Amino acid sequence: MDKKTRLLEALSHINSVDKLIIDEDYHGYMSGKLLMVEIELQRQLQKLTNERRRIPIRHKQHLNDAKQQRPELPDFTGTD
């Protein structure tokens, strides 16, 4: 099972657990904790999706021209 599938399944489980505890005492408290986990799983899924879509910059001249036009923007082309 790949990472994306595991993250999607974990999100599904979070949703199921939230439905199962709907009538329990302190549902709001427990639901809030689940929400924090859900947000983190969504963040990781988004990060995974963005990494796959990342396109390398091939034309450095275009990047340099853009930097000269908008020098106040931060440089996001550094190595990770």
Q: What is the pLDDT of residues 15-60, one digit of tens each?
A: 999 999 999 999 999 999 999 999 999 999 999 888 766 555 555 5
Domain extent, residue 43, equals 3-69
How many C-beta neighbours within 10 Å does residue 7 have?
Answer: 19
Q: Is residue 16 part of a domain?
A: yes
Q: Is residue 21 part of a domain?
A: yes
pTM for the full predicted model = 0.62
Total of domains in the chain: 1
Q: Is residue 77 part of a domain?
A: no
Specify the higher pLDDT residue, 74 or 4: 4
Q: How far is C-alpha 48 from the chain's CA centre?
A: 7
